[in-house]
Amino acid sequence: MSKNTATLLVTCPDRKGIVAAIADFLYRHDANILHADQHQDAENNLFLMRVEWSLEGSAINADNFSIDFSPIASQFEMTWQLKLAQKRPRMAIMVSQYDHCLVDLLHRHQSGEFACDIPLIISNHRDAERLAEFYGIPFHYIEVTKENKAEAEAQQFALFDEFEIDLIVLARYMQILSPDFVRRYPERIINIHHSFLPAFIGARPYHRAFERGVKLIGATSHYVTEVLDEGPIIEQDIDRISHRDQVEDLIQKGRDLERIVLSRAVRWHIENRILLYANKTVIFD
């Protein structure tokens, strides 16, 4: 069951009194703070904060929160978001032929690790169709070619609208999204790239890592922007390799990293632990 909590995410110019003002506001509304974390970026003079509180016994009304909180938000020039734990986000997964990340996401969702709903899976191949059927999730095959890319994306947009999708996860979806696609869903598309960015952007990174003779390989989850593989990084991990490893060994080790790194990014997004600024992310505990 979802927790009955609310989470406030705040970004504003750094100055004295911000934490005190937020804590006092919650205290005056009988809110019991469960978690609070903050970060100051001196270079950009920014203050970022995540605070979560229980709604049980609280006088805070989510419908009127914007009105009640506006004096503080105006005073400190805040950009803020209020997230309710009982409003489960709706996540669409896009995949091509490699299904290892999809398998991991579906298993974690079924085991209750992700507090979200997955109403659809979209693919430009049929390889994952039986897997989607096993988990009881509608599968939509949409062929993508150079000639029909705009039409294919229009079909995808229609599905996202129909199912009221909040988050799109590219679980090794091997297509470059159009600028229109990315602009429609800012900060709502998470990708897994099979290298330790910014090294080896684009296609065939394991092959290029092997050719370069690297001793570490990695995987990177990031938000998608219009610039390929340069969106804000959410999570990364690495594994050591040696001269004995061939391309196939790099791919096998890399797939384990991809699953872990993508699942962490998805969970943190769902739990409202991420704030973005200056093409960076802050991941709150």
pLDDT tens string 220-253:
999 999 988 889 999 999 999 888 989 998 888 8
Q: Please report, rounded to a whole number, the percentage of residues in the chain having pLDDT higher than 70.
A: 99
From the candidates 229, 239, 249, 256, which is the catalytic residue? 229
Per the CB < 8 A criterion, the answer to whether 121 and 134 are in contact is: no
Q: Choose between 198 and 190: higher pLDDT.
A: 190
Q: How far is CA 145 from CA 77, 99, 142, 188, 253, in A?
A: 46, 20, 10, 24, 30
If you average pLDDT over residues 264-276, what whole number do you get? 97
Q: Read off φ and ψ for residue 104, nearest 5 degrees.
A: -65, -45
Q: 214: pLDDT confidence band, cut at 50, 70 and 90? A: confident
* Annotation says 161 is catalytic: no
Q: How confident is the model at residue 2, as a pLDDT?
A: 67
Q: Choose between 245 and 70: higher pLDDT.
A: 70
Q: Is the pLDDT of residue 59 over 90?
A: no
The distance in angstroms from the start CA to the end CA of the chain is: 21
If you average pLDDT over residues 135-150, what whole number do you get? 96
Q: Which class is domain 90-283?
A: alpha beta
Whether domain 5-84 has CATH 3.40.50.2300: the reply is no
Tokens 């409202």: give the residue.
272
Q: Is the pLDDT of residue 1 over 90?
A: no
* Residue pLDDT, tens place only, 90-119: 999 999 999 999 999 999 999 999 999 999
Q: 274: pLDDT confidence band, cut at 50, 70 and 90? A: very high
What are the residues whose beta carbons fall under 8 Å from the beta carbon of 65, sequence distance 6 or more?
Answer: 82
Nearest to 6 by CA among 117, 82, 90, 114: 82
Cα 253 to Cα 130: distance, rounded to the nearest angstrom? 25
In the DSSP assignment, the letter for residue 30 is T
If you average pLDDT over residues 46-65, what whole number do you get? 91
In the DSSP assignment, the letter for residue 64 is G
Helix (H) or strand (E) holding 274: strand 274-277
Q: Read off φ and ψ for residue 181, nearest 5 degrees.
A: -60, -50
Cα 140 to Cα 126: distance, rounded to the nearest angstrom? 9
Q: How confident is the model at residue 187, as a pLDDT?
A: 95
CA 181 to chain centre: 16
The angle subtended at Cα 62 by Cα 58 and Cα 68, nearest 5°, is 85
Helix (H) or strand (E) holding 109: helix 100-110
Nearest to 51 by CA among 77, 29, 74, 75: 29
Cα 220 to Cα 194: distance, rounded to the nearest angstrom? 7
* Residue pLDDT, tens place only, 144-189: 998 999 999 999 999 999 999 999 999 999 999 999 999 999 999 9
* Average pLDDT value for the chain: 94
- Ordered by start, the domain boundaries in the chain are 5-84, 90-283
